C-alpha cells in the first residue's frame, strides 16, 4: 500500500523588520565575507603550487595601441606566490605557417592575496614560472572572477608559453624584485 504525501508549495509570509526581511543571504556588511576570502585563499594554496612571479614595469616606450612596450623591463628576482593551475604537456602543432606552440596556461589567484604579495594587481606582460616546471609564461590577459553572493574574488590570468630564444634571455631586468613603480634605465 503506497503512502500519499501532500506537498504544500506556498511560501510562508516572512515577518518584516524595519522594511527588510530578517533572512538575507546577501549582506555586503557581513563579517563572514572575510572568512570566505580566507577559506578561498587556503583552498588555492592547498590545491595549487608555488609560482615564481616576475613583475614587469612600464617604460617610456609604452604603446597604447598594442598595450605593450617594445623593450619590457622584467624584474630579475622573482616573488614567490601561490596559485592554482593545471600543468599540461607542451604541444607543438605543425600548421601551414610552421610549428606552433599551443600551451596557453590559466593561473588562478585569490585577489586579496595576490594584490598584497605584488603590491598591485597582476598585469599583462608579467612573467610566471611554475616552481615544478622549467617553463616560463607571459601573462596575456587578466580577468576578475567573483562569487556575487559573497564578493570573494579570483584573478584569472591567461598566459602564453615563452620560448627560450635570444629575445627572451636578453630582456632588460631590474635589480630589485619588489620595486613598486619604477624601472631601471639600462642604457
Whether 31 is covered by a domain: the verdict is no
Q: What is the CATH number of the domain that holds 56?
A: 2.40.10
Q: What is the pLDDT of residue 9?
A: 64
Distance CA 94, CA 117 (A): 40
Q: Which residues of 79-112 are buried (b: 16+ CB within 10 A; e: fewer)?
A: bebbbbbeeeeeeeeeeeeeeeeebebebbbbbb
Whether 97 is covered by a domain: the verdict is yes
Whether 179 is covered by a domain: the verdict is no
Q: What is the pLDDT of residue 186?
A: 43
Whether 60 is covered by a domain: the verdict is yes
Taking the mean position of all CA atoms in its chain, how far away is CA 30?
25
Tally of domains in the chain:
1
Whether 101 is covered by a domain: the verdict is yes
Whether 4 is covered by a domain: the verdict is no
Terminal alpha carbon distance of the chain: 91
User: Mean pLDDT in each 10-residue stretch from start to end of the chain (187 residues)?
Assistant: 65 60 58 78 91 84 69 84 88 80 87 91 92 89 78 85 57 50 43
Whether 43 is covered by a domain: the verdict is no
Q: What is the pLDDT of residue 92?
A: 79
| pTM greater than 0.85 | no
User: Which residues constitute the domain of residue 99?
Assistant: 50-174
Distance CA 1, CA 56 (A): 74
Whether 133 is covered by a domain: the verdict is yes
Cell 635589480 belongs to 175
Amino acid at each position: 500500500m503506497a503512502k500519499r504525501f501532500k506537498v504544500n508549495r506556498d511560501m510562508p509570509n516572512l515577518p518584516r523588520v524595519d522594511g527588510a526581511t530578517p533572512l538575507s543571504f546577501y549582506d555586503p556588511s557581513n563579517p563572514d565575507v572575510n572568512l570566505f576570502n580566507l577559506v578561498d585563499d587556503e583552498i588555492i594554496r592547498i590545491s595549487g603550487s608555488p609560482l615564481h612571479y616576475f613583475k614587469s614595469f612600464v617604460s617610456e616606450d609604452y604603446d597604447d595601441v598594442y598595450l605593450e612596450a617594445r623593450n619590457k623591463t622584467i624584474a630579475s628576482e622573482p616573488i614567490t606566490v601561490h596559485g592554482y593551475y593545471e600543468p599540461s604537456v607542451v604541444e607543438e602543432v605543425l600548421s601551414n605557417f610552421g610549428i606552433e606552440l599551443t600551451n596557453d596556461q590559466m593561473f588562478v589567484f585569490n585577489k586579496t592575496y595576490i594584490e598584497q604579495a605584488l603590491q598591485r594587481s597582476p598585469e599583462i606582460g608579467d612573467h610566471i614560472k611554475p616552481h615544478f616546471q622549467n617553463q616560463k609564461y607571459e601573462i596575456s590577459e587578466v580577468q576578475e572572477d567573483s562569487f556575487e553572493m559573497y564578493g570573494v574574488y579570483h584573478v584569472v590570468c591567461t598566459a602564453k608559453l615563452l620560448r627560450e630564444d635570444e629575445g627572451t634571455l636578453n630582456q632588460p631586468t631590474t635589480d630589485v624584485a619588489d620595486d613598486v613603480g619604477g624601472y631601471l634605465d639600462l642604457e
